[in-house]
Amino acid sequence: MTADQTTDNLPRILVIDDELAIRRFLHTVLSSEEFSLHEAENGHAGLASAAAFRPDVILLDLGLPDLDGIEVITRIREWSPVPIIVLSVRDRENDKVAALDAGADDYLTKPFGVGELLARIRAALRRSVQQVPEPVFTSNGLAVDLNHRQVTVDGCDVQLTPTEYDLLRLLVTHAGKVMTHTQILKQIWGVAYLEQPHLLRVNISNLRRKLESDPSRPQHIITEPGVGYRLRLKY
């Protein structure tokens, strides 16, 4: 299969990266996993390919020669909800937050592990085909019944406060996706509370006490340092 070959029954991945070595590496890895690939070496070509190729997932570098990756994300989000995973050497917290706030679904810093990349892609694909969350979310012993507002861990009922439940529900509806502090604060408490991150930290801590077997080593609610939180999907 060539990089530009597509088939109807394979997930379509668009790689937007100006480094030929990275594109070749991703082509080798993803082709072996039976993905249909398309490549673009700059932002303008990537935008055109996103419209023409209609990928299921986009892998995007931020340091493009013609457009900043943040602008590419913003332009794509004007018309498409396609999952975007950023792959970048930029490891500063503000770069990650800016990309995620612009509409990226996930962020991996180069160099990254192949296993982690594939897991993030699989999670993104599951989200893209489940735009409406299942009535009962299950992952690694955690079950959240969205219709009946019931939460169990390993079959045992868990009692949550209304705010804790709203926070967990938000993470469930975006399971596998990194949610920034700003995104969570805005949706749970409103824009007036954007400068009060302690509210989020306290409620996350309380949720972990109730959901995690070892809150100091969480398996469900994962911290993305300096960025936000992600509800782990069972890969």
Measured distance CA(167)–CA(204) in Å, rounded: 8
CATH class of the structural domain 136-231: mainly alpha
Domain boundaries, the chain: 12-129, 136-231
Q: Which residue's entry shows tokens 């892609």? A: 121
pLDDT in tens, 93-103: 899 999 999 99
What per-residue confidence (pLDDT) applies to 99? 94
Pairing of strands 36-40, 142-145: unpaired
Q: What is the pTM of this model?
A: 0.72
Q: Which CATH superfamily is domain 12-129 in?
A: Response regulator (3.40.50.2300)
Q: What angle is formed at CA 101 by the lines to CA 95 and CA 105, rounded to 5 degrees?
A: 90
pLDDT tens, position by position, 154-180 = 999 999 998 999 999 999 988 888 999
The runs of H, that is alpha helices, within 13-113 are 20-32, 43-53, 69-77, 93-102
